[in-house]
Every structure is written in structure tokens, then in C-alpha cells.
């Protein structure tokens, strides 16, 4: 049985760890030919080798996801080496710090937006230009539940992810009639390098059972669970899904925060 991305030419950014690595591995298992990218070169190569060890096809490229020249070169290389471009998962992002409004420096705010917002913008811009030539393609961006409501991330991070959601919605309409689909995933609390400090601290205190306690599923998520959502949106199974920001958060955004009475 053919994989859901069999023969698809795919780019994944932020693929050195976490959601990006899990997605790259899953995409390869589903038959994709991959060009994956990240700033962390050594960790990126580990992802490449992990894919190849399973018989998959992948090449790595070190880029700054918020730098136009790098993103343009990434897309050009994908088209040149893979023979075209079918899917882009614009996943790269940074957390920024938890500084309050008075302490948050302009430079810190700008850097988070540069990577988290300009990165997806550039990926959409250059990838869609190639995809329009063939009349089809799928672009997926990583947003966050922090972009839907407050208190799920820092000021800069939350603002950047809210902007990603709007970017996806507005660009989806700009791409009308082209055959190119564009969607976003909004992960909840997922155990990745970005959140590892929180998970480590909870485990050291013996309070790991409280992680994800505000979700109806009463747990945090794993990168592989986001990867499966990305696979769906990247595949032809999502052929009628366009311009959406889909939470994958254990039900967190389905209601106001709630803790049931103690038994």
C-alpha cells in the first residue's frame, strides 16, 4: 500500500528536533522525498541519518528561517534537486523569553517575529510561486494555541503565532484558484526542546501529572501527535481543507480552563 506522501517532494523547516523532526520522520515513512532545514546543523544531520536508517530519502540544509536569502535558496534547491515541490511544512520557530511588557526589549520582540512570522511568510511566498506553476501544492505552518488566547506563551511568542494564523487565512484567499492549499496547526502543550525546561522541572518536583491538567484529555502532547496532523494537512486526504488554523491541543481551546473537583 502506497504511503500518503508517496512520491511527494517535501520541505520541512525546524527539522532538527521536536515537531519538525517527528514530522520529517513520519513524512519519509509515508513515501516523501525530503529536503529538511534548520539552524542547528549537527542536530539536523541526526534527523537526516535517522530518516536514511529507515530507508527514507532526505537531505539537510542549514538555514536561518527568517532570512529571505536562505528561504529562497531552500525552495530553489528543493525544486532543482527534487524536481519540483509538492509540500512545505513551515515549522521553524523560537520561544523568546517570558519577560513582562515593561522588561521586554524591542530587539527581543523583533527577533521572535522575524523567525516566527517572517519565516512562514517567506516560505509561503516562495513555495506558492513554484506550486502555482503546477497548479497544486500544500503548505502547512506551525502556529500555536498561544495565538488563539492569552497565557499559553510569552508576549512576543503569542503575538507572532496570532499573526501566523492571520497570515494563513489572508494568504489562503490570495491563493484562490491556484490549487495551492494553505493551513496552520495550533499545537497545545507539547514536549519539545522548547518546553523541555518545564517538563524537567515538573519531573524533578514529582508534579509531572499536572502537565496538561487544564485539557480535557488531562495530559500534554507529544511531537508525533502534531506530526500526524501535519501529515493529514500535507496529504491529498485534506484536499478540501484550506485557510484553516486547526488546534491540536487535547481540547484546551474547546472550553475555558477547568479543573474538576478533587475526589
Provide the greatest CA pair distance for the chain. 61
Look at the alpha carbons of 30, 171, 81, 43 in this order and tell me if their dihedral is positive or negative. negative
Task: Provide the whole-model pTM.
Answer: 0.93
Q: Which member of 157, 201, 240, 258 is catalytic?
A: 157
Q: Which residue has the higher pLDDT, 263 or 23?
A: 23
Q: Which three cell numbers stand for residue 233?
A: 494537512
Quote the pLDDT of residue 132: 98
> Is 240 a residue whose pLDDT tops 90?
yes
| pLDDT tier for residue 256 given thresholds of 50, 70 and 90 | confident
As a whole number of angstroms, the distance between CA 145 and CA 162 comes to: 9
Quote the pLDDT of residue 99: 86
Q: To which H or E segment does residue 210 belong?
A: none
* Residue owning grid cell 523560537: 94
* Residue owning grid cell 497565557: 151
* Residue owning grid cell 511566498: 125
Residue 26, φ and ψ in degrees, nearest 5: -65, -45
Share of the chain above pLDDT 70, in %: 92
Quote the pLDDT of residue 214: 80
Quote the pLDDT of residue 218: 87
| Residue 157 known to be catalytic | yes
Note whether 248 and 186 are within 8 A (CB).
Answer: yes
> Is 199 a residue whose pLDDT tops 70?
no
- Per-domain residue ranges of the chain: 9-248
CA distances 99 to 113, 149, 204, 242, Å, are 15, 18, 24, 35
> Is 204 a residue whose pLDDT tops 80?
no
Q: Which residue has the higher pLDDT, 178 or 205?
A: 178
Write out pLDDT tens, residues 44-84.
999 999 999 999 999 999 999 999 999 999 999 999 999 99
Tell the CATH superfamily of the 9-248 domain.
NAD(P)-binding Rossmann-like Domain (3.40.50.720)
Q: Which three cell numbers stand for residue 18?
A: 521536536
| pLDDT tier for residue 255 given thresholds of 50, 70 and 90 | confident
Residue 183: DSSP 8-state: E
Among 139-148, 211-220, 227-236, the range scoring the smallest mean pLDDT is 211-220
Among 96, 90, 98, 91, which Cα is nearest to 112's? Answer: 96
Dihedral of the CA atoms 109, 111, 116, 118 (nearest 10)?
110
**Other beta carbons within 10 Å of 219:** 14
Mean confidence (pLDDT) of the chain:
93
Write out pLDDT tens, residues 84-138.
999 999 999 998 888 889 999 999 999 999 999 999 999 999 999 999 999 999 9
Quote the pLDDT of residue 97: 83
Write out pLDDT tens, residues 35-51.
999 999 999 999 999 99
Amino acid at each position: 500500500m502506497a504511503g500518503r506522501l508517496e512520491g511527494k517532494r517535501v520541505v520541512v523547516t525546524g527539522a532538527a528536533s521536536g515537531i519538525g523532526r517527528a514530522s520529517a520522520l513520519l513524512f519519509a515513512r509515508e513515501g516523501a522525498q525530503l529536503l529538511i532545514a534548520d539552524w542547528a546543523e549537527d542536530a539536523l544531520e541526526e534527523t537526516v541519518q535517522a530518516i536514511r536508517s529507515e530507508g527514507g530519502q532526505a537531505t539537510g540544509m542549514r538555514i536561518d528561517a527568517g532570512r529571505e536569502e536562505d528561504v529562497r535558496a531552500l525552495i530553489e534547491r528543493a525544486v532543482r534537486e527534487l524536481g519540483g515541490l509538492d509540500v512545505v511544512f513551515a515549522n521553524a520557530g523560537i520561544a523568546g523569553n517570558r519577560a513582562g511588557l515593561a522588561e521586554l526589549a524591542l530587539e527581543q520582540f523583533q527577533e521572535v517575529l522575524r523567525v516566527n512570522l517572517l519565516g512562514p511568510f517567506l516560505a509561503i511566498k516562495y513555495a506558492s510561486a513554484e506550486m502555482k506553476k503546477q497548479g497544486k501544492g500544500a503548505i502547512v505552518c506551525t502556529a500555536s494555541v498561544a495565538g488563539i488566547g492569552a497565557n499559553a506563551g510569552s508576549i512576543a511568542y503569542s503575538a507572532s503565532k496570532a499573526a501566523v494564523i492571520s497570515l494563513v487565512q489572508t494568504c489562503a484567499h490570495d491563493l484562490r484558484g491556484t490549487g495551492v492549499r494553505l493551513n496552520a496547526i495550533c499545537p497545545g502543550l507539547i514536549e519539545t526542546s522548547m518546553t523541555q525546561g518545564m517538563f524537567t522541572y515538573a519531573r524533578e518536583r514529582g508534579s509531572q501529572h499536572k502537565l496538561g491538567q487544564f485539557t480535557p484529555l488531562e495530559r500534554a502532547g507529544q511531537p508525533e501527535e502534531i506530526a500526524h496532523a501535519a501529515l493529514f494537512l500535507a496529504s491529498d486526504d485534506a484536499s478540501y481543507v484550506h485557510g484553516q488554523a486547526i488546534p491540536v491541543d487535547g481540547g484546551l481551546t474547546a472550553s475555558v480552563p477547568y479543573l474538576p473537583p478533587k475526589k
